[in-house]
């Protein structure tokens, strides 16, 4: 219970810090809108390819915009933590008698919150440009919950990067680490239509299965064969990464 109380206070502080930087939020929303604009518009004609699963390319793209935004939020979380490490605020928290795990939890929860808020904004943008969610309101809720979990998982990766390297130049560039996770996927084209080594690599990327599940909810509705693998992989990835981040955090703070 004490851990929950402490995590709550640390979470609220992190939330206020985030909200105190409105440009971070504006930029996050704008970058997603740009994705629809700069990828969706020029690639619109792809839907005419034989075997392409959607009529509306923006609807196909929406899964990519959502998943990519959340994946790259891991890099933001690395910078958030590194900023607190550099200013000495993490040490300030470590000097207090709070449980170490409360600090970690308060930080991971903000990763989830940021992902949740961003995905909510993306869904609004997508709806505004005419994307229909076949999975309905429940589908939208499911996507938001999934994105929150993925935000926590990617936040874990970001935390590990910041704690391991303690370096601005590495952390600022940590989006490079997330790039293959985000792009070695069926982001622009269904996996069936991909070829060669790229298709193989996409099949090995856990994020791909999450993206496929999100896309299924958007363009097909509740097609469990596409959705379930994504759910299992999301849960497993999140669990493993929380474990790894906890281990790394213990190592760094003892």
Partner 1 sequence: MINGPAVLVEGLGKTYPGGVRAVDGISFAVERGEFFGFLGPNGAGKTTTIKILATLLPKTEGRVEVAGLDVIREPKAVRQAIGVALQEVGLDDLSKGRDFLELQGVLYGLSRAEARTRATELLELVGLSSVADRKVGSYSGGMRRRIDLAGALMHNPGVLFLDEPTTGLDPQSRITVWEHLEELNARGVTIFLTTQHMDEADRLCRRLAMIDHGRLVAEGSPAELKAGVGGDIVHVAFDAGESPDEGVAAALAAVRTLPGVRQADIDDNGLIATVGDGGAAAPAIMAAFQDAGLSIANLSITRPSLDDVFLQHTGRQIRDSDADGDAEDRMWSQWMGVNRR
Q: Is 22 in the site for partner 1 (CB under 8 A)?
A: no
Please give the angle made by the CA atoms of 181, 182 and 185, to the nearest 5 degrees: 90
Nearest to 56 by CA among 126, 131, 106, 2: 131
Q: Is 1 in the site for partner 1 (CB under 8 A)?
A: no
Task: State the Cα–Cα distance between residues 160 and 143, nearest whole angstrom.
Answer: 26
Question: Given the rule CB under 8 A, which of 86-94, 128-136, 175-183, 223-231 is the region that contacts partner 1?
Answer: 86-94
For partner 1, the closer of residues 5 and 44 by Cβ is 5
- Cα 151 to Cα 1, 20, 43, 144: the distances in Å are 24, 20, 28, 10
Q: Is 169 in the site for partner 1 (CB under 8 A)?
A: yes
- Please pick, from the candidates 31, 165, 199, 226, the single residue that binds partner 1 as defined by CB under 8 A: 165
- Please pick, from the candidates 38, 55, 87, 228, the single residue that binds partner 1 as defined by CB under 8 A: 87
Contact yes or no for 205/188 (Cβ under 8 A): no
Burial zone of 87 (CB within 10 Å; 0-12 exposed, 13-18 middle, 19+ buried): exposed
- Please pick, from the candidates 16, 23, 196, 225, the single residue that binds partner 1 as defined by CB under 8 A: 16
Please give the angle made by the CA atoms of 236, 240 and 244, to the nearest 5 degrees: 170
Q: Is 86 in the site for partner 1 (CB under 8 A)?
A: yes
Q: Which of helix, strand or coil describes residue 183?
A: helix
- Please pick, from the candidates 26, 41, 42, 96, the single residue that binds partner 1 as defined by CB under 8 A: 96
> What is the nearest approach in angstroms of partner 1 to the Cβ of residue 88?
3
- Residue 41: DSSP 8-state: T
Q: Is 4 in the site for partner 1 (CB under 8 A)?
A: no
Q: Rounded to the nearest 5°, which phi and psi values hold at 72? A: -70, -15
Task: State the Cα–Cα distance between residues 172 and 125, nearest whole angstrom.
Answer: 28
207-236: contacts with partner 1 (CB under 8 A): none
For partner 1, the closer of residues 162 and 194 by Cβ is 162
Question: Given the rule CB under 8 A, which of 28-36, 61-69, 80-88, 122-130 is the region that contacts partner 1?
Answer: 80-88
Q: Is 166 in the site for partner 1 (CB under 8 A)?
A: yes
> What is the nearest approach in angstroms of partner 1 to the Cβ of residue 48?
49
Q: Rounded to the nearest 5°, which phi and psi values hold at 167? A: -130, 135
Question: Given the rule CB under 8 A, which of 11-19, 65-73, 155-163, 193-201 is the region that contacts partner 1?
Answer: 11-19
Q: Is 173 in the site for partner 1 (CB under 8 A)?
A: no
Q: Which residues of the shown chain bind partner 1 in the complex (CB under 8 A)?
A: 5-6, 9-10, 13, 16-17, 20-21, 84, 86-98, 165-170, 254
């Amino acid at each position: 219970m004490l851990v929950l109380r402490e995590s709550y206070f640390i979470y609220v502080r992190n939330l206020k810090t985030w909200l105190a930087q409105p440009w971070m939020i504006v930029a996050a929303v704008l970058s997603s809108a740009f994705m629809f604009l700069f990828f969706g518009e020029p690639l619109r004609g792809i839907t005419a390819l034989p075997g392409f699963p959607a009529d509306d390319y923006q609807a196909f793209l929406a899964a990519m915009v959502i998943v990519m935004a959340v994946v790259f939020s891991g890099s933001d979380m690395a910078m958030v933590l590194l900023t607190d490490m550099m200013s000495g605020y993490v040490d300030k928290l470590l000097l207090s008698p709070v449980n170490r795990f409360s600090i970690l939890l308060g930080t991971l929860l903000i990763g989830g919150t940021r992902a949740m808020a961003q995905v909510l904004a993306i869904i609004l943008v997508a709806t505004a440009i005419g994307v229909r969610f076949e999975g309905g309101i429940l589908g939208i809720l499911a996507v938001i919950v999934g994105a929150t979990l993925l935000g926590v998982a990617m936040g874990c990766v970001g935390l590990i990067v910041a704690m391991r390297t303690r370096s601005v130049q590495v952390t600022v560039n940590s989006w490079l680490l997330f790039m293959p996770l985000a792009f070695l996927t069926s982001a622009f084209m269904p996996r069936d239509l991909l070829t060669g080594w790229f298709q193989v690599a996409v099949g090995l990327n856990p994020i791909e299965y999450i993206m496929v599940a999100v896309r299924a909810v958007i363009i097909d509705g509740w097609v469990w064969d596409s959705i379930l693998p994504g759910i299992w992989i999301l849960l497993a990835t999140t669990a493993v990464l929380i474990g790894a981040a906890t281990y790394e955090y213990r190592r760094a703070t003892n």
